[in-house]
Amino acid sequence: MRDSGIAAVLLMDAQIDHVTGLIMLRELGSKLPLLATSEVFSDISSGFPITRILSHYCGVGIAELPSDGRTVVVDALPGIELQTVAIASKPPPYSLICGNPRAGDNLGLVIQNPATGGHVFYAPGLGVVTPELLTLMASCSVLMVDGTFWTEDEMIAQGLSKKKAAEMGHLPQSGPGGMIEQLDRLPSSIRKILIHINNTNPMLIEDGAERAELTRHGIEVAHDGIDIVF
């Protein structure tokens, strides 16, 4: 009566907009399986103590994810394998170690389907695409990557923040070295989907120039109900 269709929750980081939804799951009838790195768990048990809050409700079943690229199998997610990828970023502003980034503060994830050999790369927070990361992305059949901002100064130009995209750990879509340019370096056979899109981003306008540019480059914008087969 109080269960859900959620098999497990995997946290890529401890940023507030990525973890506050856990509180909405507090009335589950059983412990919530929660997977994250030790660095993320340290933040959400201290600076923003969500795990302690949930202990008074459903409780959480904690399983630590490695941040060293190992492939792991999760009991709650049968039929798939997970490979974590440490991505350069920053801990959230509330973190007790803010200003001292750690390898496990931000993850990308390769979701592998052993039955088909398909691989999905998932990275909602991606500030830098290194040559090593580009090689890994080239081996995947589907990419779901950071689409937060269209331009580097998007938030500044709209008077919403004093920070540039890079300062918030995001690679903008446009401009030299931007996400569009990076994705163009990969085979056209790979399905390329932008996720984690800020409401300031003009590519959300379906008949706008930015969306048309993405279409010319074979890049999709994620939407509710999207089907991903791999």
| Predicted confidence (pLDDT) per residue in 9-50, tens digit | 999 999 998 999 999 999 887 888 999 999 999 999 999 999
Q: Is the pLDDT of residue 1 over 70?
A: no
Domain ranges of the chain: 66-221
| Predicted confidence (pLDDT) per residue in 94-136, tens digit | 888 777 778 888 899 999 999 999 999 999 999 899 999 999 9
Q: Is the pLDDT of residue 169 over 70?
A: yes
Residue with tokens 């100064």: 153
pLDDT at residue 96, rounded to an integer: 82
Q: How far is Cα 121 from Cα 142, in angstroms, rounded to an integer?
A: 6
Q: Is the pLDDT of residue 88 over 90?
A: no
Task: Yes or no: say if 121 and 170 are a contact pair by the CB < 8 Å rule.
Answer: no
Alpha-carbon dihedral sign for residues 152, 93, 10, 199: negative
Alpha-carbon dihedral sign for residues 37, 39, 43, 45: positive
Q: How far is Cα 17 from Cα 168, in angstroms, rounded to an integer?
A: 13
| CATH number belonging to the domain at 66-221, selected among 2.60.300.12, 3.60.15.10, 3.30.565.10, 3.40.50.2300 | 3.60.15.10
Q: Give the model's confidence band at 193: pLDDT under 50 very low, under 70 low, under 90 confident, else very high.
A: very high
Arithmetic mean of pLDDT, 61-86: 88
- Which one has a higher pLDDT value, 76 or 123? 123
Q: How far is Cα 108 from Cα 67, in angstroms, rounded to an integer?
A: 9
DSSP state of 66: P
